[in-house]
A and B are shown apart, each in its own frame.
Chain A
Amino acid sequence: MLAMTYRGPYRVRAEEKAEPRIEHPSDALVRVTRAAICGSDLHLYHGLVPDTRVGTTFGHEFTGVVEAVGSAVEKLKVGDRVLVPFNIACGTCFFCERELFGNCHSSNPEATAVGGIFGYSHTAGGYDGGQAELVRVPFADVSPMVIPADLDEDDALMLTDALPTGYQAAEMGEIKKGDTVVVFGAGPVGIFAAKSAWLMGAGRVIVVDHVDYRLQFVKDYAPAEIINFKEVGDPIVYLKKITDWLGPDVCIDAVGAEASGSALQRLTGITLPLQGGSATALYWAINSVRKGGNVSIVGVYGPTFNLVPIGNALNKGLTLRMNQASVKRHLPSLIEHIRAGRIDPKAIVTHHVPLEEVSEAYHMFSSKLDQCIKTVLIPPAARL
């Protein structure tokens, strides 16, 4: 089958690879029809995630058609059109029972801090991802969902990660009616977090980034006030200045490990991997939010440690909340929002690219070329 494979930092290619097979009675095989490139795939692409092996296939946002099922699979059947959340969740462990499907304890032998994730290195379980023609989906009766007939496939694709992650970011911010919410990052997750903040009662939504075309998009889409941090001097002072010098009520870090804005953070977090990524957005979030405010983190960081002002968080009495999104938990609410026209997820998809051109797609997304916001890969058979 044709699959994207990782060859080293900044190097990927599409090539023939052995097809996956049913390896456990709970498995299904899914023939992929859409696979998005996530911002967090770029951490893998840039060689920042430990135990990313040459030959791995990335892709944790995908939809497809069930091709085969294992003997224990009861809900899915061959031919079902499914969206597959990025979390591989058993549905029965201590965490899954509490609907923390992003923290499943039974899907990743190689680490305990993170559950199994499709195509996200051996640190996340060593599963091949969906940027291929065919993918193995363990615990197929738990997370995958049959796509409702009235749902557009790009909408369904956004439900596998980007939209639920942005939505949960806003949820973890515990937004109260009228709150001022600042979202750091105008990528797909930040865009959805800004949109979701309104749904949860925000009175004012501000998005901070340095990429003008993305800021312009979120300004119209969310809608939101926008700040290009390169144009305002010290962004912490600026944010306080525009929020009565108290700071915003809620700050959301939707950037994670490759944040711009601090040469020191980039040197120590990316050039020399002395910390788990560049934590500039989180640093700004903690320092700008008002005392007693909430900081919500969905930006992905490495597994070591980061330079963040935890002393200020203590002195300000902040609530810090963070997690991988529990995608399955959010699907019913989000589908309702989509059907009601309150969110149009597919609007952020800017590029559909043949899987064969995966090298170009990654470079384009990574370098933010052609005003790229969300890139979707399509395998050859799905284009027929």
Chain B
Amino acid sequence: MEPSVSYPALHGGESRAEPLESGGFNSAKALQNMAPQTPQLKVFKSIERPVMTPVYGTSVPPRGLSGQMRALAYRFSEGQLAHWMTLLAADRVDVIEGIIEDLKAGHVPNIFAEMGLKAELKYNRPALIRRALYGAGTVVIGLWLFRSAGLLGKVRKVI
């Protein structure tokens, strides 16, 4: 399908960015001379780097068990699965720690609200009701099977 208008060839392959300044803030020398960010909290560094970068994020410092797991993860290089899998496991532990932190602060997290239930109610109500009915049906069948466990046991013996 051809576009309705013709476009001039203006290929992005050529660099059109402003040249970096040779002096002032952007020069390598200036950056080297610039004081690095003052550490205010624990920040991990990849072992594939010799030194810290001049700037870094200070979003959430490592804490609790998840923080210890992250410290362990950063002992491995980025090429090792142990690095990433330990971090992913730490993330899951962090979620539980986050709920505990909320409760300690007297805040009971409204998990359904955090998951955007209002949007689901507004835009996808039939699917939500259908899923709720399936869920309820599954629970009812599960309870029925549980109560009939004796019968199930007999069937298993026959098999």
Contacts and interface: CB of A to CB of B under 8 A. Distances in A.
B10 interface: yes
Interface in A47-71: 47, 50-57
Contact of A92 (B5, B31, B40, B74): B31
Contact of B46 (A91, A112, A138): A112
A333 B16 contact: yes
B52 interface: yes
Most buried by A among B1, B90, B119: B119
B60 A53 contact: yes
A106 B62 CA distance: 21
A11 B24 contact: no
A109 B43 contact: yes
A122 interface: yes
A363 B115 contact: yes
Interface string A204-228: 1100000000000000001111000
Task: Bin chain A's interface residue count.
Answer: 35 or more
Nearest to B88: A50
A170 B11 CA distance: 10
A359 B57 contact: no
A134 to B, nearest CB: 14
B114 A112 contact: no
Interface string A107-123: 11111110010010011
A24 interface: yes
Nearest to A225: B1
A167 interface: yes
B interface, over-half SS: loop
A56 B60 CA distance: 6
B84 A302 contact: yes
Contact of A99 (B15, B91, B109, B123): B15
Interface stretch (A2-10, A149-157, A286-294): A2-10
A116 B55 contact: yes
A73 B55 CA distance: 14
Interface of B: 1, 3-5, 7, 9-13, 15-18, 20, 24-28, 30-31, 34-38, 40, 43-46, 48-49, 52-60, 62, 66, 70, 73-74, 78, 81, 84, 87-88, 90-92, 94-95, 97-99, 101, 109, 111, 113-120, 122-124
Interface of A: 7-13, 23-27, 47, 50-57, 72-74, 88, 90-92, 96-97, 99, 105-113, 116, 119, 122-123, 125-128, 138-139, 141-142, 167-168, 170-171, 196, 198-201, 204-205, 222-225, 273, 302-304, 328-334, 336-337, 342, 357, 359-364, 366-367, 369-370
Given A24-B55, A125-B56, A200-B12, 8 more contacts: A23-B58, A25-B34, A25-B35, A72-B34, A92-B28, A109-B53, A126-B43, A363-B120
11 contacts: A7-B114, A11-B114, A106-B54, A109-B49, A113-B78, A125-B57, A126-B59, A200-B9, A223-B3, A329-B16, A367-B120
| A-B interface, 3 closest residue pairs, ranked by CB to CB distance from nearest | A363-B116, A126-B57, A127-B57
